[in-house]
């Protein structure tokens, strides 16, 4: 038998360790955002001083441009690096970037979204012409947002005589995904969600890295009662609800 999947948010946060790489589903203004999980993670750090030095990744801005979203993680020591398609929805986190308190990369939303599928497929990463000769080209700034961000996460390669940008895959340790209903086996439906976003790809990618997937939902159902055709994230990809 497997472990108990239905737990409190506080219990779920205990699986996150120092230096973990956390992938976060969500889009600006609350769409598909794992608000409870983010808030509880921030509260755990305030109470315990742990986990520390996380890398977080999200393809879009997460928050309400005021005090939600990744603002809940805007404490010195909690996040080491933020890899994002947009940071403006979380002004507290953006200010930490401006203050050189965390490393930060601003990559195209589509690149990060496709990255999850690439990791799920166990490919080396993704190759694209998007970003060539722009801010994300490593010969210019490589998407680095401040002076303390120095590692190159994108490379220029040549294929068939043409230049491409190569984005090596990440290694994910933990994922936060969002749905509406979960059954006790972790199957997730999304009947009240405004968008499905990358939930299934993030979950598959994280499991392919040997990581842990934590889902936030509104309702709980008994196993076997959900319509299989409505399941957006199968329970085999979900560790905790």
Residue 1 has pLDDT above 50, yes or no: no
The percent of residues in the chain predicted with pLDDT above 90, rounded, is: 95
Q: What is the mean pLDDT of the chain?
A: 97
- The alpha helices in 86-234, defined as continuous H runs, are 91-98, 109-120, 199-208
Handedness of CA 227, 231, 234, 238 (dihedral sign): negative
User: Per-residue pLDDT tens for 62-107?
Assistant: 999 999 999 999 999 999 999 999 999 999 999 999 999 999 999 9
Residue 28 has pLDDT above 90, yes or no: no
Q: Are 57 and 22 in contact (CB under 8 A)?
A: yes
* Rounded-to-5 percentages of helix, strand, coil across the chain: 25, 25, 50
User: Per-residue pLDDT tens for 41-64?
Assistant: 999 999 999 999 999 999 999 999
pLDDT of residue 216: 98
- The alpha helices in 5-100, defined as continuous H runs, are 9-13, 35-48, 91-98
Provide the Cα torsion 197, 201, 205, 210; round to 10°. 90
User: Per-residue pLDDT tens for 159-186?
Assistant: 999 999 999 999 999 999 999 999 999 9
Say whether the peptide bond before residue 51 is cis (omega within 30 degrees of 0): yes
pLDDT of residue 215: 98
* Partners of 106 in beta bridges: 84
Instruction: Indicate the length of the chain as a whole number.
Output: 241
- Beta strands 125-128 and 212-216, pairing class: unpaired
Q: Kindly list the domain boundaries of the chain, sorted by start residue.
A: 9-125+171-237
Widest pairwise Cα distance in the chain: 56
d(Cα 184, Cα 21) in Å, to the nearest integer?
26
d(Cα 56, Cα 62) in Å, to the nearest integer?
12
Q: Between 3.40.1080.10, 3.40.50.1950, 3.10.110.10, 1.10.1520.10, what CATH number should domain 9-125+171-237 receive?
A: 3.40.1080.10
Confidence of residue 121 (pLDDT cuts 50, 70, 90): very high
Confidence of residue 19 (pLDDT cuts 50, 70, 90): very high
Its pTM stands at 0.96
Residue 195 has pLDDT above 90, yes or no: no
Backbone φ and ψ for 9, nearest 5 degrees, come out as: -60, -40
d(Cα 125, Cα 39) in Å, to the nearest integer?
31
The percent of residues in the chain predicted with pLDDT above 70, rounded, is: 99
Confidence of residue 2 (pLDDT cuts 50, 70, 90): low
């Amino acid at each position: 038998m497997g472990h108990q999947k239905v737990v409190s948010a506080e219990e779920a946060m205990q699986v996150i360790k120092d230096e973990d790489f956390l992938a976060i589903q969500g889009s600006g203004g609350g769409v598909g955002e794992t608000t409870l999980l983010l808030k509880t993670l921030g509260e755990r750090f305030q109470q315990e001083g742990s986990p520390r030095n996380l890398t977080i990744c999200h393809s879009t801005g997460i928050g309400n441009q005021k005090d939600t979203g990744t603002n809940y993680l805007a404490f010195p020591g909690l996040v080491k690096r933020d890899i994002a398609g947009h940071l403006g929805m979380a002004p507290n986190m953006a200010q930490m970037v401006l203050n050189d308190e965390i490393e930060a990369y601003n990559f195209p939303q589509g690149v990060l979204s496709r990255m999850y599928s690439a990791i799920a497929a166990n490919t080396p990463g993704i190759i694209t012409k998007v970003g060539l000769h722009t801010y994300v080209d490593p010969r210019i700034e490589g998407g680095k947002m401040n002076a303390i961000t120095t590692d190159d996460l994108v490379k220029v390669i040549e294929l068939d005589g043409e230049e491409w940008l190569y984005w090596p895959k990440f290694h994910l340790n933990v994922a936060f995904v969002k749905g509406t209903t979960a059954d006790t086996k972790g199957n997730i439906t999304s009947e009240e969600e405004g968008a499905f976003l990358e939930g299934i790809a993030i979950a598959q990618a994280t499991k392919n890295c040997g990581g842990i997937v934590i889902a936030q939902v509104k309702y709980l159902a008994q196993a076997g009662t959900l319509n299989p055709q409505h399941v957006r994230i199968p329970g085999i990809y979900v560790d905790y609800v």
